Structure 1
Amino acid sequence: MEPRVSFITLGVADLATSLSFYRDILGLVPHKVLPEVVFFNLGSIRLALFPRDLLAADAGVADDGGGFRGVALAHNVRSPAEVDQLLARASDKLGRLIKSGRPTSWGGYAGYFADPDGHLWEVAWNPEFEII
């Protein structure tokens, strides 16, 4: 396998609500909006929003929605102030603040929000990683 992630697909309860959150609140520009899926370009990776029940059926697994899935997506920003700004914007409407921005043990600054379906996003400023 070549070392690459091409798509991140999130199973969502309400496609219109999730589209609104990612487009209107987080500012992502949809690449393609279809009746059953929405795609966003994130550099070399694409984010897809797909109805949760259809995603489960496509994968052939139960749609039980059980608790923490052991996954968090991360978005790095250029400063601690940007961490706080994005956390506030994401949790102001449809999202939920999980952990406010704070200094980290690795010398950065980070916090977490959850999207309307509970998918965790870490927002981090890391002085060791340049934003490219």
Structure 2
Amino acid sequence: MITLGVEDVQASVWFYQALGFPKTDFDSDDVAFFSLNGTWLGLYGREDLAEDAGVPSDGGRFSGVTLAHNVESDALVDETLQQAVDAGAKLVKPGQKVFWGGYSGYFADPDGYLWEVAHNPFTWIGPKDED
């Protein structure tokens, strides 16, 4: 499970739902969960999460963590980045060919968490198109 400490749980719920993440039926204003393929994404207030972990909440620097979403094509990278921007994300790096032979870009969610959207043509491990 991935848990993000966010400034406004309900605003973040709206953002991730706008990206199409499937929210679970768990009912709370203080925490939310999204069911993902093989894991969950949890959203919890930044202050509350820091308190729970016993660490200071002043996360004003890059944590050294990014999240990644792998998609099936270069075009889908661009579409997904635009979908995130339309939902309120900040485009950090537009989709582009990368040194390892794939295609990727980055956006920051409303709390500044960096998400890479990538297509790796060598090891696509997602749902297969059933055309």
Determine the C-alpha separation between the residues in 2 that align with 1:33 and 1:95: 25
Equivalent-residue separation in structure 2 for 1:78 and 1:51 (angstroms): 32
2:23 maps to 30
CA drift at 1:130: 2.1
Residue in structure 2 matched with residue 95 of structure 1 by the alignment: 89
The TM-score with structure 2 as length reference comes to: 0.92
Distance in 1 between the 2:7 and 2:90 partners? 16
CA distance in 2 between partners of 1:17 and 1:35 (Å): 11
User: 1:111 maps to which residue?
Assistant: 105
Alpha carbons 2:4, 2:42 under 8 Å: kept: yes
Kept in 2: contact 1:9–1:49 (CA 8 A): yes
Structure 2 counterpart SS, 1:50: strand
- Equivalenced residue count is 125
Q: Which residue of 1 aligns with 2:47?
A: 53
Determine which of 58, 63, 85 is the counterpart of 1:69. Answer: 63
Q: Which residue of 2 aligns with 1:127?
A: 121
67-76 or 31-40, which moves further after superposition?
A: 31-40
Q: Which runs of 4+ in 1 moved over 6 A?
A: none
CA positional deviation for 1:128: 1.4
Alpha-carbon shift at residue 89 of structure 1 (Å): 1.1
TM-score of the two chains, using structure 1 as the length reference: 0.91
CA–CA separation in structure 2 for the residues paired with 1:39 and 1:120 = 19
- 1: CA distance between counterparts of 2:83 and 2:37? 22
Q: 1:40-69, CA deviations, whole angstroms, 9 ceiling, x for partnerless residues?
A: 111111100000000000001111022211
Aligned equivalent of 2:38, options 40, 44, 52: 44
Percent identity over paired residues: 52
What is the CA–CA distance in structure 2 between the aligned matches of 1:92 and 1:46, rounded to whole Å? 23
CA shift at 1:116, angstroms? 0.3
Residue 27 of structure 1 aligns to a residue whose secondary structure is coil
Structure 1: which 5+ runs fail to align?
1-6
- Equivalent position amino acid for 1:59 in 2: A
Amino acid in the other structure paired with 2:22: V
| Offset of residue 37 of structure 1 | 0.6
- In structure 2, the residue matched to 1:3 is none
